[in-house]
Amino acid sequence: MVIAAPAHPPDSLRALFLDVDGTLLEIAATPDGVHVPPYLIDLLQRLHEMHRGALALVSGRPVGQLDELFAPLRLPSAGLHGLERRDAAGGQVRTAAPQVPAELWARTRRCLTDFCARNAGTLLEDKGGTLALHYRQAPEHEAAARRAVAGALAQLGDDWQVLDGKCVLELKPGAASKAGAIAGFMRSAPFAGRVPVFIGDDITDESGFQYVNSLGGHSIHVDEQANGAGHTCARQRLADVAAVHRWLRELRERK
């Protein structure tokens, strides 16, 4: 059974990894509709200092977009589900991705854009290295969206996969994962040797939960259900974004 998040190791021994949408921020109707409460930026800054830099954002958004959302902070960050990463020293790391001919990529994007034009309420988000088809505002088009993305995947080939999120289907390189991103952070200072704590809310976070569990860390699923054990390998639970914020404030106050 998934239980409430327990007490954690002292901050000097802990590495904190945080998903963004659905974890730190309430999910919005569109990706650019999210709201970042000013107090959250201050809270993250204090926690970053408290953990001596061992705090990172691990998100499906590009790293540059994370910087815009949380400005003026420039935290260690993994973007595009691990495809890109900025380490604690500011170094840029990019997961090796399959090379897609420009013509094929343009054709794939055009097919999905045409799908959105035909199906009101759907939205294609081109993140550069990935393509995300959102149907949150048009759940009646889910089946058609799945068919469209499956067709696009067949064109891109076996090195690509569909990441099935909350009302979004994302085409991404199979080699990129949040597990790989967290592992990359854990290989270098200030994360190395610490106990990892990862908080996430979605299927897209499951690989990260699995990796953190393998290290004996703390995996925390954000889920409004009383018991999320049927669909997550996370071992602890927080109810919603507000609960995540409370938990982080309590963490800061334990200093």
8 A C-beta contact, residue 209 and residue 233? yes
pLDDT at 243: 95
Show which of 173, 190, 221 is a domain's final residue: 173
Instruction: Determine whether 19 is an active site residue.
Output: yes
Residue 252: pLDDT band (50, 70, 90) is confident
CA distance 124 to 5: 35
Task: Give tens-digit pLDDT for 202-224.
Answer: 999 999 999 999 999 999 999 87
Show which of 173, 198, 228 is a domain's final residue: 173
Task: Give tens-digit pLDDT for 110-154.
Answer: 999 999 999 999 999 999 899 999 999 999 999 999 999 999 999
pTM summary value: 0.92
Residues 112 and 86 in one domain: no
pLDDT at 52: 94
Q: Torsion angle, CA of 130/202/76/251, rounded to 10 degrees?
A: 170
Instruction: Give the chain's mean pLDDT.
Output: 92
Apex 181 CA angle, 78 and 205, nearest 5: 85
CA distances from 6 to 26, 116, 213 (A): 23, 43, 15
CATH number for 167: 3.30.70.1020
The number of folded domains in the chain is: 2
| In the predicted structure, residue 104 carries a pLDDT above the cut 60 | yes
Domain range for residue 13?
A: 3-95+176-253
Task: Give tens-digit pLDDT for 69-80.
Answer: 999 999 999 999
| In the predicted structure, residue 2 carries a pLDDT above the cut 80 | no
DSSP 111: H
pLDDT at 77: 98
Task: Give tens-digit pLDDT for 45-69.
Answer: 999 999 999 999 999 999 999 999 9
Residues 117 and 215 in one domain: no
8 A C-beta contact, residue 138 and residue 98? no
Residues 17 and 86 in one domain: yes
Residues 118 and 142 in one domain: yes
**The one catalytic residue among 11, 19, 21, 205:** 19
Task: Give tens-digit pLDDT for 4-21.
Answer: 555 556 666 899 999 999
% residues pLDDT > 70 (the chain): 93
